[in-house]
Structure 1
């Protein structure tokens, strides 16, 4: 405080305190001050506390949308196409020789064995690897997380695929009990952590927990044998939250609004007429005649009007002329919340080539981020553990002279950005290659 503030505080403490409060309010951000038109909303809970409270509800609501909401189904389908694609995540082995060159013979062996194993990689034998990856991606984005147990060695009831004793068991998040928390043993929402918040082991239900049974048997799976892919927006969050969480209310409002407009349009499409009778005056009340219905056919003549009566049609302002613009505005907000492309979600591809390509370039980075997260949490650790099992079992023999530190090297790639105008894209790549800014390999991958 300056001399004046100290003097005022000594003579009039209340006035001095008021001056200090006013000075602090002026210096602070306006956003922290609640007003009649600005309601301050804060969030001081941890990510784990939020998931403990809302994780199950968000997951179940998102599943309902995936079953019943066409926009959500289309958005998740598009993300499957742009992140995983029809062929799944492509893995290109890159082992090196002692001289630092690519060991093409070993790379081809690994590639063939990996392709054969990918035909039936999981315990049920129902899914190929690309199909399994698409289902896991959908579960990850919709439910917020997905788990995969890794099984190696001799397992009763399972036969090695391509000579590699290695299988996957994909698990929905319901199998890891969200309600199991014990601070004394560092158990947080079904996951045991060490003092550095690193997962040590997982609690896994041995059957579907929602089957109605009073108690479900639970087993423990070590972190080395579990892959956990989760979607989070907070640090140190044990479990994931649905990608749809920020847009659930908007999606439900949009669905109910469209349903109401559709019903109104159906009602308006039903032809309705009325008969206007002559004025009976105000001397007394005349009871209406019994209502009659007339079957109308194309080209018919109606001559049942009494003298003084007139026939008219009920008009409607449906369909709503502003529905399309309002819907598109809402879909733009949904696309922003889902890290997707508005054109792909709305299936609206109007616009010039420059505008379409600008949107495609911006949206591709969002898909690439999700693709990188999927590869980092699932594909890369899966491939490395599979290759270790293949080498240990003798399915793949590593030739002499191989740089063992590069054995697990690989290039992971998914769907690339599609071309809107192939001629323009090809000419652009020609310029890049001639200028040395790109290689022919980059062009092939694109």
Structure 2
């Protein structure tokens, strides 16, 4: 014990014991003790209080970088490609009949109606479903959240653009104000919840606060929770609003942009400077020898000779040490950290594909885990609610008639398929899938989905293709029936004759 503890021990032994216990705890966790070299910064605020203070600034910084930083633009472009893809998130209905088998005819009916609605799914009629999903995914990852209001049935002053009376009004997160709270009514940051934190309603602004002519103080409208889709990137339990994906890399990205700009300016200055004239001693300088108007600039051309030096003057050359040879290594190190914060791969962010096949595949496999996680979150937050709301309205409006042989419990069942990991070595990948199917550890549908194809559509296409080939007498290795030895199918030999499918001549 120190002197203070020894003096307090007879008077307040409990206080001394507590002091000693706390001292031992601090000694046990050195990381909790601030020092000159360790700041021991912490975050005592709740998830909602932290996002209340920083949410708007983080969102605006990410938007600015997406508009002005080529690296950030490329990163979000690649995330769009990996999470949603060019064709959007595919939906394959899997409705079962009462006998437990898939009702392929009814699934095809749903698929056709879904494809027709996908042409103009949002209220403005400007975007197709894949375009809408890519835009929503980009907003979600860049701003931290995105919203959409479901427009269902008959709505005043609105005419549906599709047969199914269902559309989505896309909203940026600015429509959900951070500063609109009423704790007595359970409203925090524009979201109204009950005592169990279940969302009851959203209080949305009637116009974008950033539009010209609209101030930040305007009226809100209360929209029931079942009519709003809220996609949010949450990092803590109980977090009301989402945070941008690159929130931890904003300072690094801003510094990298400023540093690269400084290097570019230095390189331009270095390249623009040619030479300089060093004056001699002052007593050697004669103003009469200076040309009229002075010597401010010189025309430079290949092979030129300059002989206009005055007595005592000398010509010096600038040493151009730009571009900085260390820039690329430093920049690549920064990009590795940015890729880690953005659930992406360094090769993807830097567009650098050096290295061995094994290293490239390892990076692709690890990065695919991050893409799959974002893809499943987007499906859970957006695609599944949209599809189920659309199907409910399609059935209620009579566009889709449910047969009596369908199991009603499986009406909403579907498989959601996003972009898959590309094959680096198609031969190895194909052989591996073939071995798994033959061994019973995978099925044909899984292989088709792994390549981004719909299994039912693939089988129909293959059946039609094989039937046409046989009708025209075309033989390809893709038809395994032709690989059966001729001795095992004498009837085929008698009917088709030669290899070209024509009967052979007999004497």
Calculate the TM-score normalised by the size of structure 2: 0.82
Task: Tell whether the 8 Å contact from 1:272 to 1:314 is kept in structure 2 after alignment.
Answer: yes
Distance 1:23 1:137, change over 3 A: closer
Match of 1:218 in 2: 220
Determine which of 331, 336, 339 is the counterpart of 1:335. 339
Q: State how far apart, in whole Å, the 1-side matches of 2:307 and 2:286 are.
A: 23
CA 274–22 in structure 1, closer or farther in 2 if over 3 Å, else same: same
Corresponding position of 1:273: 275
Aligned residue pair count: 439
Q: 1:17 to 1:78 in 2, by over 3 A?
A: closer
8 A contact 2:284–2:312 mirrored in 1? no
Supply the distance in 2 between the matched residues of 1:184 and 1:406 (Cα, whole angstroms). 41
Change in 2 beyond 3 A, CA 1:291/1:239: same
Aligned-partner Cα distance in 2 for 1:73–1:138: 10
**1:184 & 1:292 partners in 2: Cα distance?**
74
Q: 1:425 Cα deviation (Å)?
A: 1.8
Q: How far apart are 1:17 and its partner, in Å? A: 7.9
Asked whether 1:180 is paired with 2:184, we answer no
Secondary structure class of the residue paired with 1:253: helix
Deviations 1:400-423 (A, max 9, x none): 111000000000010000112222
Contact 1:205 1:216 in 2 (8 A): yes
Deviation at 1:92, TM superposition (A): 0.2
- 1:28-427 matches, cutoff 5 A: 28-211=28-211, 212-214=213-215, 215-276=217-278, 280=281, 290-306=294-310, 309-427=313-431
Note if contact 2:208-2:214 (Cα within 8 Å) is conserved in structure 1: no
Deviation of 1:301 after TM superposition, in Å, equals 2.2
**Contact in 2 for aligned 1:31/1:40 (Cα 8 Å):** yes
Q: After TM superposition, give the deviation of residue 210 of structure 1 in Å.
A: 2.5
Query: Structure 2 vs 1, CA of residues 16 and 415 (structure 1 numbering), >3 Å: closer, same or farther?
Result: closer
User: Residue 246 and residue 298 in structure 1: after superposition, are their counterparts in 2 closer, same or farther (change >3 A)?
Assistant: same
1:174 and 1:127 map into 2 onto residues whose CA distance is 21
Alpha carbons 1:275, 1:309 under 8 Å: kept: yes
* Distance change in 2, residues 1:292/1:56 (3 Å): closer
Gap runs ≥5 in structure 1: none
CA RMSD in angstroms comes to 2.4
Deviation at 1:226, TM superposition (A): 0.6
- Preserved contact between residue 113 and residue 162 of structure 1 (Cα < 8 Å): no
CA contact (8 A) 1:268 1:318 kept: yes
Report if aligned partners of 2:123, 2:160 keep a CA contact under 8 Å in 1.
Answer: no
Q: Conserved in 1, the CA contact under 8 Å of 2:153 and 2:165? A: yes
Distance 1:117 1:248 in 2: 39
Q: Cα distance, 1:373 vs. partner? A: 0.8
> Equivalents in 1 of 2:261, 2:161: separation in Å?
49
- Give the TM-score normalised by structure 1: 0.92
Aligned mates of 1:109, 1:323 — CA distance in 2: 58
Instruction: Quote how far apart the aligned CAs of 1:306 are.
Output: 4.3
CA distance in 2, matches of 1:389, 1:11: 77
Deviations 1:213-245 (A, max 9, x none): 354232111011111000110111111111121
Does the C-alpha gap of structure 1 residues 17 and 220 become closer, same or farther in structure 2, counting only changes over 3 Å? closer
Aligned match for 1:431, one of 425, 429, 435:
435
CA distance in 1, matches of 2:119, 2:53: 40
Q: Select between 254-263 and 413-422 the one with higher mean Cα deviation.
A: 413-422
Describe the shift of the 1:15–1:351 C-alpha distance in structure 2 as closer, same or farther (beyond 3 A). same
Cα distance, 1:309–1:361 mapped onto 2, change above 3 Å: same
CA separation in 2, counterparts of 1:146 and 1:101?
A: 38
Aligned 8 A contact 2:65 2:72 in 1: yes
Q: Give the stretch that moved more between structures: 297-306 or 198-207.
A: 297-306
Q: Is the 8 A contact 1:83 1:371 kept in 2?
A: yes
Aligned CA distance change for structure 1 residues 105 and 294 (closer, same or farther; 3 Å):
same
Q: Deviations over 1:4-61 (max 9, x none)?
A: x9999449979988765654443x2111111121111111111111111111111111
* Pair 48,285 (structure 1): closer, same or farther in 2 beyond 3 Å: farther
Mark the CA change 1:263 to 1:402 in structure 2 (over 3 Å): closer, same or farther. Answer: same
Q: CA deviation at 1:354?
A: 0.6
